[in-house]
Amino acid sequence: MTENQQLDPDPFKQFTRWFADAEQAGLPLHNAMTLATASRAGKPSARMVLLKEADARGFVFYTNYQGRKARELKENPFAALVFYWQPLSRQVRVEGAVERVPADESDRYFASRPRGHQLEAHVSAQSQVIKDRVFLEEQFMVFTQKVAGQEVPRPAHWGGYRLIPDTLEFWQEGEHRLHDRLLYRRIDNDQWVIERLAP
Ligand SMILES: Cc1cc2nc3c(=O)[nH]c(=O)nc-3n(C[C@H](O)[C@H](O)[C@H](O)COP(=O)(O)O)c2cc1C
């Protein structure tokens, strides 16, 4: 990636290419990304989540709708994502507005999850203080017995978010710290400008 011309003019195609490279390189959790949100007051927080879908509509992750990140996204519906694929010496940064994915999309994804993950989504009040681990395990046991032999429906407090990017930056390590940084900036619906940034 020494010249801008080597990049795909479409940032989503460029992302798909790098994501496939990370997968083909066999990197563990190549879909893990840091998600940064901020409170209404602008105080930031960050954590890892897993990318479950990425296309021209945006970047999708799934979580609890009542935890800290959800609270912050309600107050301030903008976020940033960072991927780092160390053996490839590549980083991708994505920023934009965040919205909930439609309920039927969340239903479909929830239905595809392992049963244990479905049960956990019901019993864990994400980001709340709890007494101890035993409390969590008991809640899990009780709910497991309650729904034995039945399908586990998606709880209303759990689902997906889609980050709709207005910028994506592709970073590739270079010799002497002369890294490549190519920034895609959305100027209209599917119109992007590509700019090179100093490392
Ligand atoms: C590699 C990795 C992947 C994770 N993936 C998710 C995820 O997809 N969704 C999620 O809610 N939490 C995920 N977590 C847990 C979050 O980092 C975090 O602890 C949790 O979402 C609570 O965050 P919050 O209190 O800021 O809402 C993951 C953690 C790690 C280390």
CB 61 near ligand 1, within 6 Å:
yes
From the list 68, 90, 93, 177, the catalytic residue is 177
Give domain status of residue 135, yes or no: no
Residue 141 included in any domain: no
Nearest residue CA, atom 13 of ligand 1?
A: 49
Residue 139 within any structural domain of the chain: no
Flag whether 138 is in a domain.
Answer: no
Beta bridge partners of 191: 188
User: Tens of pLDDT along 109-133?
Assistant: 999 999 999 999 999 999 999 999 9
Rounded to 5 degrees, φ, ψ at 158 are -140, 135
In this prediction, the residues of the chain whose per-residue pLDDT falls under 70 are 1-5
| 3-state per-residue secondary structure call for 118-137 | HHHHHHCCCCCCCCCHHHHH
Number of structural domains the chain divides into = 1
Let me know if residue 133 belongs to a domain.
Answer: no
* DSSP-based three-state secondary structure for 57: coil
> What domain range includes position 46?
4-113+155-196
The ligand 1 atom at the shortest distance from the C-alpha of residue 37 is: 26
Please give the single-letter amino acid code of residue 134: V
**Is residue 87 assigned to a domain?**
yes
Q: How far apart are the first and last CA of the chain?
A: 14
What digits encode the pLDDT tens for the residues 23-33?
Answer: 999 999 999 99
Q: Rounded to whole angstroms, how far apart are CA atoms 73 and 62?
A: 13
Examine the residue annotation and report whether 68 is marked as an active-site residue of this protein.
Answer: no
CATH of the domain at 38: 2.30.110.10
